[in-house]
Amino acid sequence: MLKITPAELKSIAQYIHDISGIYLDQSKSYLFETRLSSIAEELGCSSYLALYDKARRDPGKIIERQIIDAISTNETLFFRDNGPFELLKHKILPEIIDLRTPSSPRLKTNIKIWSAASSTGQELYSVAMTIKDLIGTQMDNFNFKLLGTDISDNVVKQASYGKYNKFEIERGLPRPTLQKHFTLFGDSWKVKDELRAMVNFRKLNLMLPFTGLGKFDIILCRNVAIYFTLADRKKLFNKLADSLTDDGFLIIGSTESLTGICPRFVPKRHLKAIFYQKKT
Amino acid sequence: MNNLTILVVDDDPVIRRLLEQRLLKENYEVLLAEDGYVGNDLLSGNHVDVVLTDLMMPGDIGGIEVLEFAKGLERNIEVILITAHSSVDTAVEAMKKGASDYLEKPINFTELFLRLEKIATMRSLLRSAEDLRQAMDVTESTAAETIQNLEVMTSTLQIKVDSVETILSNESLASEDKVSDALDILQEIS
């Protein structure tokens, strides 16, 4: 495997931060090597500096996309941590549904939910399944709009396709849920059309302005800010506060904290889980 | 000692016997079925890691049906089909339905053992990954509890500190009242 020099490490780490916001610890050179060496070799680069130069000069930004795909962590699973989904089921969704129930049965209200780092889609589909299982027949009164965004093109594509292999399915999906919401597709499983129709996925760099997204009733931003610097985390959660309705709900990763990061949010506890709302 | 339990489903007693002997010699656990019916019964009543089934068998239950039954029962079961050269297309179709692999007759045992070893290695890697995940889950949930408790505590303290600040900066209160009110709030903390 191609070895990385300290000087290259500095330039590449800075470059990765610039294009993605991801801050990589420069003491972990193996992380750069294991994730980038195959791209460097594939492109015929004899050093990481050559890869860096080539990536910066690539007008189609194809190499930049490859680097982002390689460096971003896509670890995810259906119903990860479970806590947030219990929270959605027992507290957040009933409350939002109460707040947004239309005055006339002929009207439909939008309920917008955003998974800000959706990876291969498991989190957003888990939210969609929770909604469907909770309100089933009442679905017609609401227009649920679920958006998943991620910086990596590859995972956005995979999420949109909604197909999962047996290893992905085995992580977190109980058999009855699988049979209710998925159809067997060869040795893999595909999300059923009605669930697929509730969600949308697109590419988004959380470091850039959130133009055209509008406001959301529920935002999930779990286990992504951990890869950002403190300054970037502050900016991110401030922007998320702007993107959340005044009575909306924010869910972050179970080991994350907003203390000292965004005073606009107040933590609230429901059973064993925590969610955040904007200070009134 | 190989940990895999292998179910052999074949209507040909010679092939069954041969597979049994060779697999036992390699220290695999072996179950034998002379047709798809017995095969499915054995699958229902036993833990099986790998099914080695003939594609074409007399009766309504052929290799494809055994494959479908096994996968419906337990997604983790690996199914290897044994096929005559003329049925290779059907075997390829079966791979699309979830079969792990197919072997052409006459069975090349070196090839078979290589595939079984691969399955065993894959299973052991998956097991390690699962162990790691479980260890990570325990660490994560313990950390989450601590962090979330601290998060709520810090937020509660912040509200108290803000109230004390409001009291102390209230010009309309006498000094002794400010101190007394502030102390009241601070005492609530403990």
Partner-chain contact A258 B97, CB within 8 Å? no
Superfamily of domain B5-107: Response regulator (3.40.50.2300)
Is B148 close to A186, i.e. CB distance below 8 A?
no
Angle at A126 between CA A122 and CA A127, to 5 degrees: 125
| Rounded-to-integer distance, Cα A136 and Cα A48, Å | 53
| Confidence (pLDDT) at B1 | 46
pLDDT score at A73: 87
Q: Is the pLDDT of residue B37 over 90?
A: yes
User: Which among A272, A274, A279 is the top mutation candidate for probing chain B, defined by the most B β-carbons within 10 Å of its own β-carbon?
Assistant: A274
For residue range B118-173, list pLDDT tens digits in order: 999 998 998 898 899 889 889 988 999 999 999 999 999 998 999 999 999 999 99
Give the type of residue at A84.
Answer: P
Provide the residue ranges of all domains of chain B, joining segments of one domain with +: 5-107, 143-189
Element (H, E) at B184: helix B175-189
**3-class SS of residue A247:** strand
Is B155 in Cβ contact with A187 (below 8 Å)?
A: no
Q: Mark yes or no for CB contact A257/B144 under 8 Å.
A: no
Quote the pLDDT of residue B2.
58
Q: Does domain A83-278 have CATH number 3.40.50.150?
A: yes
Q: Which of B145, B150, B155 sits opposite A266 (nearest CB)?
A: B155
Return the residue in A166, A190, A255 with the most chain B beta carbons within 10 A, the one to mutate for interface testing.
Answer: A255
**Encoded tokens for B96:** 């699309």
Per-residue pLDDT band at B31 (split at 50, 70, 90):
very high
Per the prediction, chain B carries an average pLDDT of 91
B74 touches chain A (CB under 8 A): no
Residue-level pLDDT, tens digit, chain A, 280 residues: 899 999 999 999 999 999 999 998 888 889 899 999 999 999 999 999 999 999 999 999 999 999 999 999 888 999 998 899 999 999 999 999 999 887 877 788 899 999 999 999 999 999 999 999 998 877 778 899 999 999 999 999 999 999 999 889 988 899 999 999 999 987 789 999 999 999 999 999 999 999 999 999 999 999 999 999 999 999 999 999 999 999 999 999 999 999 999 999 999 999 889 999 999 8
Q: Mention the CATH class of domain A6-71.
A: mainly alpha
pLDDT tens-digit map of B79-116? 999 988 777 888 888 888 888 889 998 999 999 999 99
Tokens of B70: 């096994």
Report d(CA A20, CA A16) in Å as an integer. Answer: 6
The residue written with tokens 């479980």 in the block is B134
The complex's ipTM? 0.77
pTM, rounded to two decimals: 0.79
- In the 3-class helix/strand/coil scheme, how is B61-128 assigned residue by residue? CCHHHHHHHHHHHCCCCEEEEEECHHHHHHHHHHHHCCCCEEEECCCCHHHHHHHHHHHHHHHHHHHH
Type of residue at A280: T
User: Residue ranges per domain, chain A?
Assistant: 6-71, 83-278
Q: Is the pLDDT of residue B47 over 70?
A: yes
* Closest chain A residue to the Cα of B136, Cα to Cα: A81
Q: Which run of H or of E encompasses A57?
A: helix A48-57
What secondary structure, in 3-state letters, does B121-168 show?
HHHHHHHHHHHHHHHHHHHHHHHHHHHHHHHHHHHHHHHHHHHHHHHH
Interface with A, mutate which of B75, B80, B127, B149 (most A CBs under 10 A)? B75
Question: Are B75 and A186 a contacting pair at CB < 8 A?
Answer: no
d(CA B84, CA B56): 9
Contacts of A79 in chain B (CB under 8 A): none
Rounded to whole angstroms, how far apart are CA atoms A128 and A123? 9
Per-residue pLDDT, A271 = 86
Work out the minimum CA distance from A255 to partner chain B, whole angstroms.
4
